[in-house]
Amino acid sequence: MSARQNIALALGLLVVLAAIPLLTSSRYVLGQFILFFIWFGVVTQWNLVFGVAGIFSLAQMMIFAVGGYASAMLAFHLQWAMWLTVIVGGCAAVVTSTVIGFATLRLRGAYVALLTLAIAAAMQALIIADTDCLSFETGTCITLTGGASGLSRFGDFGFRELLGYRSAVLGEYYLGLLLITVGSAFAFLIINSPLGHAFRALRDNSACAAARGIDRIKYQVMVFSLAGFFSGLLGGFYAGHFNAIGPSILDFSTLLFLLTSMIVGGVGRFWGPLAGCAAMMLFDELLMGLEEWRAVGLGVFTVVAVILFPQGIVGFLESGELRRIGSQLTGLSAQIHHFVKKAPGQ
Amino acid sequence: MNADVRAPLLSCQNVTKRFGALTAVDALSFDVGAGEVLGIGGPNGAGKTTLFDVMSGVVPASSGRIEFLGQDITWLPPYRICAAGLARTFQLNAAFDSLTTLENVLCSAYFGRREVTLPKLAYDRETKDRVDGIIESTGLASVRKRRADSLTVLQRKQLMIACALATEPALLLLDEPVGGLNPKEIDQTIDLIQRVRTEWSTTIVVIEHVMRCLVALCDRVMIMHHGRKIYEGSAAGVGTDPQVVEVYLGQWAAHRLQHLIAEQQTHA
């Protein structure tokens, strides 16, 4: 697709998404869309590291959690405004992500996955183990991170006062939409710039890339830093939207759900995260009534998707495979037509 | 005569590369003068590709010194050596498979010519124009928009040369540029390398087993065996050197080589 086609498609989608609140006022539907914005935004940034640069980092939810926790803690303990803490959360995530980038430099492939997963697990364990009381102000023990039960009721973006209780969700819906629009534009610019080509060159053949002037250390750290900012912002947005954050966002199941979304959509492709998150969340929604079979259903869906589209949904659409099947079907129908016409004569 | 007085473009002094007990390159010394084409031959395992790896910084030398344009590049990382003006191609067809032909050359031109502190969001016009010229003259114009992994063997070889040229090298190292090609493609590639030499005035070191290619291209030939230099001189002398015939060419190939050289001399 040319840049112009990409922009046209993005604008079309943006108009549709912006019009959704006009079609429904269901708080549940809008809430699910906000959650979709968050996951889609997180996977878009993760895709830069995991897909475009080909570094198998599983630290993405941890970077998201750093953003979320930084904003929640500042709002909770210091009563900072949520708008400000979200920005600080984004910056904290950049720093964390950069450090993780440095930590992975000497590792390759699956070892990067192991290290980053261990870092994320350590963060979760540290939060759960945090039981030291910071203060006893209201007679209850308040810990720094909130421990196993997390932090809550620390404030939100103020849409409730501004728009009233019933319409507050609208404010958050459009804020989420703004975040993913800017985050996606950022990812698009990177993927199609010299920087994106350097990331892909290192992924495809790092020895050859080095011999063409591309410094692996520099660009590997850089991709982590770049992907950190919007991940952290979205973490803060998550905390502000739910007015709560807990260690369960570091659960392996969430990470796996998002990783699967990226793979189903198409790893390393700009439209992959959108297609993947939309497909996975839609399917998850359909399985809602199945209770304990929901996870199994999602697993089966993933297996079928990966077998049918090894390059992801977007990879399949871009490969021209669709056109090939189309022309085969036309050929087949022509043959049947021919056969049917000939048959009575025989 | 002046060329002999000038300092060589590249000078290797006692370059050694050991992998454990194996000495792949053994105290090798040689010079490459500006504008010349040096051919390197020798049996498999002689250390030819390892020598290129050491020169281009892909693997560090164990000892010795490599000077390029008066600068000690022995311990520089590969991306610095590339920016300094020494580019190489690989024996296996190395390219960035998921990028198109155009993107491969663009990204080599952008990052390889000089050190880039912070990349911009788009390629500048000058880089684009230069890349268009290189794609045109390396015969890749018809496949500009194709992904590198969909190219033929010949096109991938051409792409590798195009990417190396895009970094504007003063010295180009070619590792078996015609390996795996058919006779017609070999002629095309020899022609391309000769054009590189004249149009870009690039100095070239080429590793090749195909003697026809060495004879056609090289001013001087060096034959390696067990990491050492066993012959250095004219291409014509290769076939008459008893040690080279013994360890590398064999009687039959040496005989054919003499024919080839005689043929070339009558053509000239």
- Output the six-digit token pair for A13: 């989608």
Domain count, chain A: 2
B70 touches B31 (CB < 8 A): no
User: Is position A136 within any domain?
Assistant: yes
The mean pLDDT value for A235-254 works out to: 94
Q: Do A209 and B110 touch (CB under 8 A)?
A: no
The mean pLDDT value for B62-72 works out to: 94
Q: Do residue A122 and residue A222 come from a single domain?
A: yes
Please provide residue A99's backbone torsions phi and psi, each rounded to the nearest 5 degrees: -60, -45
DSSP label at residue A147: G
User: Is position A3 within any domain?
Assistant: no
Q: Do residue A266 and residue A149 come from a single domain?
A: no
Of A193, A204, A211, the CB nearest to B82: A211
| Predicted confidence (pLDDT) at residue A1 exceeds the cutoff of 80 | no
Q: Which one of A250, A273, A300 terminates a domain?
A: A250
pLDDT value of position A339: 78
Q: Do residue A296 and residue A147 come from a single domain?
A: no
Burial of B225 (0-12, 13-18, 19+ CB in 10 A): buried
pLDDT value of position A346: 47
Q: Which of the two residues, B212 and A257, has the higher pLDDT score?
A: A257
Residues from chain A that touch B103, judged by Cβ atoms under 8 A, are: 197
Distance (Å, whole) CA A47 – CA A37: 15
Q: Do B107 and A268 touch (CB under 8 A)?
A: no
| Predicted confidence (pLDDT) at residue B268 exceeds the cutoff of 80 | no
pLDDT value of position B5: 52
DSSP assignment of A47-97 equals HIIIIIS------HHHHHHHHHHHHHHHHHHH---HHHHHHHHHHHHHHHH
pLDDT in tens, A167-202: 889 999 999 999 999 999 999 999 999 999 999 999
User: Is position A112 within any domain?
Assistant: yes
User: Is position A10 within any domain?
Assistant: no
ipTM of the complex: 0.90
Domain membership of residue A160 as a residue range: 16-250
Residue B156 at interface with chain A, using a CB cutoff of 8 Å: no
| Predicted confidence (pLDDT) at residue B4 exceeds the cutoff of 80 | no
Share of chain B above pLDDT 70, in %: 97
Q: Which of A47, A208, A212 is the best mutation test for B, with the most CBs of B within 10 A?
A: A212
The mean pLDDT value for A223-245 works out to: 96
Share of chain B above pLDDT 90, in %: 72
Q: Which residues pair with B40 in a beta bridge?
A: B207, B222
- How far A302 CA sits from the closest chain B CA (Å)? 25
- How far B80 CA sits from the closest chain A CA (Å)? 7
What number does CATH give the domain B10-267? 3.40.50.300
pLDDT value of position B6: 63
- How far A6 CA sits from the closest chain B CA (Å)? 17
pLDDT in tens, B157-205: 999 999 999 999 999 999 999 988 999 999 999 999 999 998 888 999 9
Distance (Å, whole) CA A319 – CA B50: 39
Side-chain-facing half-sphere of B209: CA atoms under 13 Å: 10
Q: Do residue A232 and residue A282 come from a single domain?
A: no
pLDDT in tens, B214-260: 888 999 999 999 999 999 998 888 888 888 888 888 888 888 888 88
Q: Do A193 and B121 touch (CB under 8 A)?
A: yes
- How far A77 CA sits from the closest chain B CA (Å)? 38
pLDDT value of position A312: 92
Q: Do A268 and B98 touch (CB under 8 A)?
A: yes
Position B161, amino acid: I
pLDDT in tens, A244-253: 999 999 999 8
Distance (Å, whole) CA A104 – CA B153: 35
pLDDT in tens, B110-125: 999 988 888 988 999 9
Which residues, 6+ apart, have CB-to-CB distance to A263 below 8 Å? A276, A302, A306, A312
Residues from chain B that touch A195, judged by Cβ atoms under 8 A, are: 119, 121
Q: Do A212 and B119 touch (CB under 8 A)?
A: no
